[in-house]
Every structure is written in structure tokens, then in C-alpha cells.
Amino acid sequence: MAPLVLTFPDIDPVAINIFGLKIHWYAIMYLIGFVVAYFLLRRRLKHEPYRSITKPDKWSPADIEDLLLYAIAGVIVGGRLGYVLFYKPGFYLANPLDVIKLWDGGMSFHGGAIGVIVGIAVHAFIKKRPFLQVGDFLVPAVPFGLMAGRIGNFINGELWGREASADLPWAMIFPTGGDVPRHPSQLYQALLEGLLLFVLLWLYARKPRYRGQVAGAFLIGYGVFRFIGEFWREPDAYLGLLSMGFSMGQWLSIPMVVAGLIIWTWARTQAISDVEVGGSDDAVDGHGEAEGDGVDAPVEDNSAETEDHASDDIANATHGSGETTVDDGSSSPELPESNR
């Protein structure tokens, strides 16, 4: 008896068509990612150090709106340029006008990450806030958007995985992947660099950390999970595997991990805390000990000190405007090949 292999359902990439206005599933997933990120960041305002920061101004919902605006612009511009430069430079060099044809598809996460970094820098400059303080604030909400994007890839039936054994219960035949069973690598990546990274990073960021440690942890976590997930993902046909048998996505992830380790280690060495005590910037001394009563110092232990649960945060963050008080025990558009 032949093994049962799942066949990918032929889903129309256009979710809604209103008088010729086509709204694609991928665009909807992006929208969901940004909306959830907004409410997660509203929740983030209740975490230390953002709850106590007063200089130059208190963090507010208006800051979230401005920051997300720059981040969205960074994702679109950076993601497109990253795809052009990292994946198809020869094609776009010969067809430069095609660079602006976003509707034809082609986005790169690594390019989008660079774009978001630029957006963070612009926001930090305008608001006169430390760059890493802004980065630490934003990145815990990013993995949820990554998960939404990978689900969009799956719905579009793109960026599928490498050939799999027909005995694999969830092996799947994709319409554009030939008649062979494949790994649904989009879902693997949604779980790794999306859900798992979100839970770990959110728990880590709930306690006060030295400035830069949360951003560094994100770069490390994403780079590692993306590197692992690429082993099940089919390499791009026009690139194939590169040196040492690694894919382009893996090679681009290695410098992310290195950069994250450097930032995290530097942050621990510098021991700069943004938690304010009595209006002072000097909440924590060089050894991470609180100089005032009632404020948790940044902790280096990355174990789950979880009196609160990530599920509560997700539920609360996606319902309401984020005005709920937190009892955490601390002081604290359709784009094929869209998301490289």
C-alpha cells in the first residue's frame, strides 16, 4: 500500500476581490502582523524600563505609531532592495525598472531587517533616544510578524521545502514543486523563527535588561532558527546551494548571529540600564545592582522566571488597547517569493 501524501490545497492567492480591487492573502498576513505588533508594543509600555523612563520624554502610544511607520517603510524598501541585491542582482541590473514592480514579488527578510534598523535609527534620532533602547523596545514584537509572513508563504504555496520521504505523515505535494513530497518548510520556519522565538524573547524581555541585550538576543535567536530551518527549505533554483553546502539564507544568517553576540556581550560589559529610580538615569550601577529600593536590576539569567505566562500576554495584547495593568511580579501586497 502506497504511503498517503498530503496534496497542498490550491488556494487562490487573492483573498478578496472588490470591483477589481484585489487584496491578497499575503498582504492580509502582513497587516495582521503589524496590527498584533502594535498591541504587543502597547503591552510593552508596561514593562521596565519603558514604564519608568522619563527622559527625554515618557514612552507613549504615539511613539509606537511613529516607530511602526518607520519600521513598515523599512520592511518594504529594505526587503525589496535586499531581494534585488542578495538574490537576483544580475536580472535587476539588466532590468532596472523592474526593481519598483513590487506586485511581481520578491522580498528578503535580511534586507527588511536592515531597513528596520535604519527606521529605528531615524526614530531614535528624531526622538533623541538611544538607538539600542528603541531596538530593545521593538524587537520582542517582530517574531509574531515573521510567523504571519511564513503562514502567508504557505498559503501562497511558495518557498516550499526540500524533498521528503513519502512516509513522513505531513509531507506535502505543492502545485509548483513537482510531483514529489516535500517538507512544508514554511510552517517549520513559522514555528521556529516565529512562535518559538516570540515566546523566548518575550519572556526574556519582561525583566529589565541592560541596554542592547534584548536586541542582541533577537539577532542571535533569529539567525540560529533561520539557519536551522534552511536545512529543510528548497534552495532558490537560480542560486542553489553555495559554498560549504549552505544556502544564501544561511550565509546571511551567520553575520546576524555574530552581530547579536557582539551586541549582547558589549551590553553586558557596559551594564547600561534604562530603568530610572526617582527620576534618575542611574538606576543600576556597573555591577547590575539597583541603587534604589523597589526596582529590579537587569538580570543575566535567561531562564524562565515566569510568574506570568506568555499566553496571558498574547491574549491581553490582542484584546483591547493595552490599558490593562500588568501583575508580573517585577518592576519593572500578493507576492510570490515574498519573504526570503
- Domain spans, the chain: 22-302
Judge whether residue 43 has pLDDT over 90.
yes
pLDDT for residue 21: 80
pLDDT band at 316 (very low <50, low <70, confident <90, very high): low
Average pLDDT over residues 150-173: 92
For residue 322, pLDDT over 60 is answered with no
DSSP category for residue 17? E
What's the mean pLDDT in 268-274? 93
Q: Mapping DSSP to helix (H, G, I), strand (E, B) and coil, where does residue 6 land?
A: strand
Mean pLDDT, to the nearest integer, of 106-128?
Answer: 93
Query: 119 vs 329, which has greater pLDDT?
Result: 119
Q: Is residue 66 exposed (0-12), middle (13-18) or buried (19+ Cβ within 10 Å)? A: middle
pLDDT tens-digit readout, 190-227: 999 999 999 999 999 999 999 999 999 999 999 999 99
- Distance between CA 99 and CA 91 in Å, rounded? 10
pLDDT score, position 312: 53
What are the Cα distances from residue 188, in Å, to 4, 144, 168, 230, 239?
20, 14, 14, 9, 22
pLDDT over threshold 80, residue 323: no
175: left (phi over 0), alpha (psi -120 to 50) or beta: alpha
Cα three-residue angle 221-224-230, rounded to 5 degrees: 130
Write the single-letter amino acid at 193.
E
Compute the mean pLDDT over every residue in the chain, rounded to the nearest whole number: 83
Instruction: Tell me whether residue 150 is annotated as binding.
Output: yes
E-only strand ranges, the chain: 6-7, 14-18, 21-24, 172-173
Range of lowest pLDDT (164-168, 195-199, 234-238): 234-238
Mean pLDDT of 265-282: 75
Greater pLDDT, 265 or 152: 265
Q: Residue 10: what pLDDT? A: 74
